């Protein structure tokens, strides 16, 4: 798993908050608040001026930002892009983001069971998540329409379950997920709505990067 420092460096290198550390990113402790420049020896010597990027560099940066956001490897990300390009029934950019949103670790995060996607991946890999009452330990598992995702009974009875009793009452899950705070479960009830991601990241530039 990436360390705290490496996650913060990813945000600094991208030049914006990617919220890889959950609530920490909204506090003064955030690295982008304390060191709002690129990491490395020369990172703080640009006088606050962003580095000029070529078109290729800009596309690469967008790709890295989206890849870091979902915490996937380069090979995994390129596979998602290849599948999106092969999908002839849907817009390529939309298909890519919906596939990323459908990952089990992302769904666990979106339901409010974890404060970050990295913590959600840990919960999945440690066997704390059930899909349709079956334990799933693969973070990239695709959650389909009608699938129910919930915590194991052991987690519900532990400290995390007690904490979620409070936080889930205030959590707003996206419209494509139906959250049951009392049972600490959720269900996918439609296709992921990805408008926020599509407007925040230049997904089409990412597609162009891989289409070269």
pLDDT > 90? residue 140:
yes
Positive or negative: CA dihedral 173, 178, 181, 183:
negative
Calculate the average pLDDT of the chain. Answer: 88
* Spatial CA neighbour of 164 closest among 181, 186, 152: 181
Q: Is residue 50 part of a domain?
A: no
Q: Is residue 32 part of a domain?
A: yes
| 7 Cα distance to chain centroid | 13
Same domain? 39 vs 110: no
What's the structural domain count of the chain? Answer: 2
Q: Is residue 82 part of a domain?
A: no
Torsion angle of C-alpha atoms 155, 156, 160, 164, degrees rounded to 10: 150
The DSSP bridge partners found for residue 188 are: 177
Same domain? 184 vs 114: yes
Q: CA gyration radius for the chain?
A: 18
CATH number of the domain that 147 lies in?
3.10.290.10
**Measured distance CA(158)–CA(174) in Å, rounded:** 26
**Measured distance CA(116)–CA(21) in Å, rounded:** 6
pLDDT > 50? residue 1:
no
Tell me how crowded residue 142 is: count the other CB atoms within 10 A of its CB: 13
pLDDT tens profile 43-85: 655 555 555 678 999 999 999 999 999 999 999 999 999 999 9
Q: If you average pLDDT over residues 125-130, what whole number do you get?
A: 98
Q: Is residue 212 part of a domain?
A: no
**Measured distance CA(78)–CA(129) in Å, rounded:** 26
CATH number of the domain that 13 lies in?
1.10.1050.10
**Measured distance CA(202)–CA(144) in Å, rounded:** 26
- Per-residue model confidence (pLDDT) at position 74: 97
All residues at 6 or more sequence positions from 46 whose CB lies less than 8 Å from its CB, including other chains: 37, 38
| Residue 13 structural domain | 1-45
Q: Is residue 40 part of a domain?
A: yes
All residues at 6 or more sequence positions from 175 whose CB lies less than 8 Å from its CB, including other chains: 190, 193
pLDDT tens profile 10-35: 666 667 667 776 666 667 776 667 67
Q: Is residue 163 part of a domain?
A: yes
- Tell me what percent of the chain is helix, strand and coil, each rounded to the nearest 5: 50, 10, 40
């Amino acid at each position: 798993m990436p360390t705290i420092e490496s996650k913060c460096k990813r945000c600094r290198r991208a030049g914006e908050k990617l919220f890889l550390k959950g609530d920490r990113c909204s506090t003064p402790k955030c690295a982008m608040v304390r060191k709002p420049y690129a990491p490395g020896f020369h990172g703080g010597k640009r006088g606050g001026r962003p580095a000029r990027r070529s078109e290729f560099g800009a596309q690469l940066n967008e790709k890295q930002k989206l890849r870091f956001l979902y915490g996937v490897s380069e090979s995994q990300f390129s596979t998602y892009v290849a599948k999106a390009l092969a999908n002839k029934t849907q817009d390529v950019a939309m298909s890519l983001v919906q596939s990323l949103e459908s990952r089990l670790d992302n769904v666990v995060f979106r339901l409010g069971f974890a404060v970050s996607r990295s913590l959600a991946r840990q919960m999945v890999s440690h066997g704390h998540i059930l899909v349709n009452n079956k334990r799933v330990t693969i973070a990239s598992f695709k959650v389909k329409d009608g699938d129910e995702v919930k915590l194991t009974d052991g987690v519900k009875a532990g400290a995390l379950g007690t904490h979620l009793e409070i936080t889930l009452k205030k959590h707003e899950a996206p419209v494509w997920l139906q959250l049951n705070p009392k049972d600490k479960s959720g269900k996918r009830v439609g296709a992921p709505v990805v408008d926020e991601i599509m407007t925040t990241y230049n997904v089409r530039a990412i597609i162009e990067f891989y289409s070269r």
